[in-house]
Amino acid sequence: MEQQALIPHLFRTEFRKIATVLSNLFGIEHVEVAEDIASETFLAALETWTYKGIPENPTAWLYAVAKNKAKNYISRNAVFTNKIARQIKYSLSEGEEIEIDLSDKNIADSQLQMLFAICHPSISTEAQIGLSLRILCGFGIDEIANALLTNKETINKRLYRAKEKLRLENVKIEVPGEAEINMRLETVLTTLYLLFNEGYYSESQDAVLREDLCLEATRLTYLLIENEQTNKPAVNALLSLMCFHSSRFEARKNENGEIILYNDQDESLWNYELISKGVYFLHQASQGDKISKYHLEASIAYWHTIKADTRKKWEKILHLFNQLLQIEYSPIAALNRTYVLAKANGKAAAIIEAEKLNLADNHYYFTLLGELYTDIDNKKAKQNFQKALSLAKTQSDKQTIQKKLTTLDDLMIDE
């Protein structure tokens, strides 16, 4: 891999490891110092490798430079030296250096501990997602702004406020004790679920970035699976859900970024290895005695990996949606249920339920009504598609709706 491609690749994979290990060592109040040292390490790589060439083991080179920069920082700052010496279990002899452990195990442990620190209930969900992308996923500020459809200034302010709040709360970078872990784990899972959704349902036109968001959310969820304390049924259910959704990633959008609806997807583009993994983790999730929303959503996603368009299939999905809405109601889940209701019980029944939702500012709502009214009342179908078009925000959504309007117009001409 050439230097132009190698450094950005290593930044994505290694920045987060260096930053989390150093943050763990320094404490949450000095996260910026850890990030600065990680950034300076990559700046040194850019400057050195340009003239001397890429070293034989680039990752080892980065780790060695990061360790040296961290040790130099500690030795120059008496406050740091005293603080860190108090944290370790033995007293340092005169002249003895503090060990900075960048082993695979310590990196994984540090990332898991940082995940719980970032997902502290004292900061907003938006801030949790932003910090996760920056510290745990190695995303640059520009990438985060693009992913969350905002600007650099907003992201910088959000991250700064979040770090200040964590400092004030004196949040520890650690996996909480057994008594607290289930309560805190729920917040962590919510953040990872939303992080995945930012990628899967993102309106960003950057396809690579969208997929990266999903991959990072999946990777962080797998960290929870690998740890005995956090390997819980709900975690397996969430990972199963991510696998099922990711399996259809390539089939969901065309080369122009336009959404391809489920019925029109090319089944050969589905990733059956991911589907198998989803089935495995869903089976692991069934070992508990509590059903979470992730169990139900994963089960719904599983049935969507079966392309057969049978009433039995849609009745099973409808039953799962009914359970999901009882556990945690959301307008979007209710809207998705009406599509399933149409498949199971017919369009007429679905129209009655859909119109009760009255999601007046949601273009998906009017798009669905347009679909449901097609062939029943094409005039109403057209009105709903036109309303959806006026509410759609992205060019790809507008193109998708416009195609439906064109098809409907052709149908109405033939009537």
Q: What pLDDT sits at residue 349?
A: 96
Q: Per-residue pLDDT for 94 more than 60?
A: no
The pLDDT mean for the chain works out to 90
Contact 21, 100 (CB under 8 A): yes
Confidence of residue 205 (pLDDT cuts 50, 70, 90): low
For tokens 């450094």, name the residue. 7
Cα 234 to Cα 286: distance, rounded to the nearest angstrom: 9
- pLDDT per residue over 111-122, tens digit each? 999 999 999 999
Contacts of 325 (CB under 8 A, 6+ apart): 333, 334, 337
What is the mean predicted confidence (pLDDT) over 238-253? 94
In the chain, which residues fall in CATH 1.10.1740? 1-97
H-run or E-run covering 13: helix 3-26
pLDDT digits (tens, 9 = 90+) for 344-374: 999 999 999 999 999 999 999 999 999 999 9
DSSP letters, 331-357, are HHHHHHHHHHHHHHH-HHHHHHHHHHH
Distance CA 82, CA 24 (A): 16
**1-97 CATH choice from 1.10.260, 1.10.3470, 1.10.760, 1.10.1740:** 1.10.1740
Dig out the tokens for 410 from the structure.
Answer: 């052709």
Residue type, 371: E
Task: Answer whether 0.75 is exceeded by the pTM.
Answer: yes
> For the segment 314-334, what is each residue's pLDDT rounded down to a tens digit?
999 999 999 999 999 999 999
Neighbours of 161 (CB within 10 A): 13
